[in-house]
């Protein structure tokens, strides 16, 4: 009898230990609810009730700050989601796409090509923002392996408590408040900002020793192209109309050539700013790095028309069920616009974005 009890006691102890560690992990992981909101983006996709979109965006801040899925819906009845994260590198994008395709098969995938300029991981924080929000899967494991910096450890992505354990001394009320449930931060992946900071000067572009994108980036771009073709998805390459980091002509040419060779659509929106109607005095919140709400809506209107015409995307606004869902999103979207303007009025800045922001 006593012997029989031992395995049970051990099992119970193991379960309790795992439960304690899981709880502590939840507590210790950054919540990204009131600042560094970019950290909360990736995980939001998995909380979507209806994961069936016409268009999936992948890429860095040039997608999640510059396109508004709500506008795409309201103007064209296009359903879309942005799987963006801060300084999302091309391998992050590829694996996020691979992961997304497990949940749905969009008609169009839009990839912002700025990340072609990075051939190695840049910063642990960006890896974390791109990967921590993904559920554990073989794709995530491959993504971790492709992304890790030299001093990072694989196991810390599987058990993030091993990375964030020392946050115990920095816990705030936010960590307890969002221990089990987080607020939605984005609007289908779009991180809204209504504030304005006009462009005054544009930093001079540095000359580069080598303008060739590296093999590793092409390798992932090829994989992305192949993956889309295998799944009957149209891949669209874009360069968002933000003024810097500078997008060199040599880079643009390479992307044009690549698109042509692979029969893809490539749009460098920097060439169409007038057509889009972007006014860099009113449509950017950080002097040209990112568009604000006004700019994002203009760009979405412009791009939505192209998407609709080129890929014959249906207008879902006649679908009642979808319309109900998107109407609710529209209400939340409008409420946030109102809230942000009220905040601007009261403080002169947006509280959530007041902490120092990284370049991208």
Partner 1 sequence: MLFTSYNFILFLLALFVLYYITPKKYQWLLLLAAGFFFYSFSGWDNVAYITVTIAATYFTAVKIGQLYEKQESYLRENKASLTREEKKAYKEKIKAYQKKYLLLCLFFDLGILAVLKYTNFMISNINSVSRLFNGREISFLDIALPMGISFYTFQAVGYLVDVYRGKYPPEKNIGKFALFVSFFPQLIQGPISRFDDLGKQLYSGHSFDFRNVSFGIERILWGFFKKLVIADRILVGVKTITQDPETYQGIYVLIGMIFYAVQLYADFTGGIDITIGIAEVLGIKLKENFERPFFSKSTAEYWRRWHITMGTWFRDYVFYPVSISNVMMKVSKFSREKFGEKIGKRVPVYLSSIIVWFATGIWHGASWNFVVWGLLNCLVIVVSQEFEPFYAWFHNKFNVRDKFLFRVFQVGRTFLLMSAIRMLDVYRNVRVTFQMYGSLLTKWNIGEVFNGALMKLGLDKSDYIVLVFGIIIMITVSLAQRSGSVREKLYARPDIIRYAAYVGLFVSIIVFGAYGIGYDSNQFIYNQF
* Minimum CB distance to partner 1 smaller for 6 or for 356: 6
* Minimum CB distance to partner 1 smaller for 7 or for 232: 7
Interatomic CA distance for residues 110 and 359, integer angstroms = 22
Q: Does 4 bind partner 1 (CB under 8 A)?
A: no
Task: Please classify residue 188 by burial: count the beta carbons closer than 10 Å to its beta carbon, then call 0-12 exposed, 13-18 middle and 19+ buried.
Answer: buried
Diameter of the chain by CA atoms? 82
Q: Does 163 bind partner 1 (CB under 8 A)?
A: yes
Q: Does 155 bind partner 1 (CB under 8 A)?
A: yes
**Cβ neighbours of 206 (radius 10 Å):** 8
Interatomic CA distance for residues 132 and 111, integer angstroms = 21
- Residue from 1, 4, 49, 151 binding partner 1 (CB under 8 A): 151
Stretch that binds partner 1, among 36-44, 53-61, 156-164, 329-337 (CB under 8 A): 156-164
Q: Does 156 bind partner 1 (CB under 8 A)?
A: yes
Q: Does 115 bind partner 1 (CB under 8 A)?
A: no
- b/e burial code for range 105-120 (CB count within 10 A of at least 16 → b): ebbbbbbbbbbbbbee
Q: Does 148 bind partner 1 (CB under 8 A)?
A: no
Helix (H, G, I), strand (E, B) or coil at 273: helix
State in angstroms the smallest separation of the CB of 145 from partner 1: 15
Q: Does 127 bind partner 1 (CB under 8 A)?
A: no
Residues 6+ away with beta carbon under 8 Å from 271? none
At residue 84, φ and ψ (nearest 5 deg) are: -105, 160
Q: Does 282 bind partner 1 (CB under 8 A)?
A: no
325, β-bridge pairs: none
- Residue from 102, 120, 153, 253 binding partner 1 (CB under 8 A): 153
Q: In this structure, are residues 286 and 357 in contact, taking their beta carbons and an 8 Å threshold? A: yes
- Residue from 1, 4, 9, 215 binding partner 1 (CB under 8 A): 9
- Residue from 1, 4, 6, 206 binding partner 1 (CB under 8 A): 6
Q: Does 144 bind partner 1 (CB under 8 A)?
A: no
- H/E stretch holding 74 reads helix 69-76
* Minimum CB distance to partner 1 smaller for 72 or for 130: 130
Contacting partner 1 within 198-257 (CB under 8 A):
none
Contacting partner 1 within 55-74 (CB under 8 A):
none
* Minimum CB distance to partner 1 smaller for 159 or for 272: 159
State in angstroms the smallest separation of the CB of 358 from partner 1: 17
Interatomic CA distance for residues 147 and 123, integer angstroms = 10
Q: Does 33 bind partner 1 (CB under 8 A)?
A: no
Q: How big is the site for partner 1, counted in residues (CB under 8 A)?
A: 23
- Residue from 33, 141, 148, 161 binding partner 1 (CB under 8 A): 161
Q: Does 121 bind partner 1 (CB under 8 A)?
A: no
Interatomic CA distance for residues 101 and 286, integer angstroms = 33
- H/E stretch holding 108 reads strand 108-112
Helix (H, G, I), strand (E, B) or coil at 58: strand
Determine the distance from the C-alpha atom of residue 355 to the mean position of all C-alpha atoms in its chain, rounded to a whole number: 20
The percent of the chain in helix, strand and coil, each rounded to the nearest 5, is: 55, 10, 40
Q: Does 356 bind partner 1 (CB under 8 A)?
A: no
Q: Does 11 bind partner 1 (CB under 8 A)?
A: no
| Contacting positions for partner 1 (CB under 8 A) | 6, 9, 13, 16-17, 20-21, 24, 28, 124, 151-156, 161-163, 165-166, 168-169
């Amino acid at each position: 009898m006593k012997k029989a009890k031992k395995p049970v006691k051990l099992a119970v102890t193991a379960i309790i230990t795992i439960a304690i560690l899981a709880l502590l992990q939840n507590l210790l992981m950054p919540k990204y609810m009131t600042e560094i909101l970019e950290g909360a983006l990736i995980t939001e996709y998995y909380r979507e009730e209806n994961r069936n979109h016409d268009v999936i965006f992948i890429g860095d801040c040039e997608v999640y700050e510059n396109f508004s899925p709500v506008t795409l819906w309201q103007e064209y009845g296009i359903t879309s989601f942005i799987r963006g994260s801060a300084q999302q590198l091309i391998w992050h994008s590829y694996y996020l796409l691979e992961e997304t395709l497990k949940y749905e098969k969009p008609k169009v995938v839009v990839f912002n090509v700025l990340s072609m300029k990075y051939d190695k991981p840049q910063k642990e924080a960006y890896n974390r923002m791109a990967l921590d929000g993904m559920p554990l899967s073989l794709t995530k494991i491959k993504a971790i392996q492709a992304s890790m910096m030299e001093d990072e450890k694989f196991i810390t992505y599987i058990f993030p408590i091993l990375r964030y354990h020392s946050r115990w001394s920095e816990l705030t009320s936010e960590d307890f408040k969002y221990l089990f449930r987080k607020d939605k931060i984005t609007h289908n992946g779009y991180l809204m900002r209504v504030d304005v900071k006009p462009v005054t000067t544009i930093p001079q572009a540095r000359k580069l020793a080598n303008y060739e994108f590296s093999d590793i980036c092409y390798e992932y771009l090829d994989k992305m192209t192949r993956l889309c073709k295998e799944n009957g998805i149209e891949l669209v390459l874009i360069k968002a109309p933000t003024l810097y980091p500078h997008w060199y002509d040599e880079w643009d040419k390479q992307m044009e050539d690549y698109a042509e060779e692979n029969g893809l659509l490539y749009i460098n929106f920097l060439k169409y700013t007038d057509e889009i109607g972007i006014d860099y005095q009113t449509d950017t919140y950080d002097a040209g790095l990112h568009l604000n709400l006004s700019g994002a809506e203009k760009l979405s209107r412009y791009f939505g028309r192209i998407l609709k015409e080129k890929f014959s995307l249906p207008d879902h606004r006649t679908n009642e069920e979808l319309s109900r869902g998107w109407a609710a999103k529209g209400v939340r979207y409008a409420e946030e616009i109102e809230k942000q303007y009220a905040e601007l009025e009261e403080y002169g800045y947006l509280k959530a974005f007041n902490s120092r922001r990284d370049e991208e």
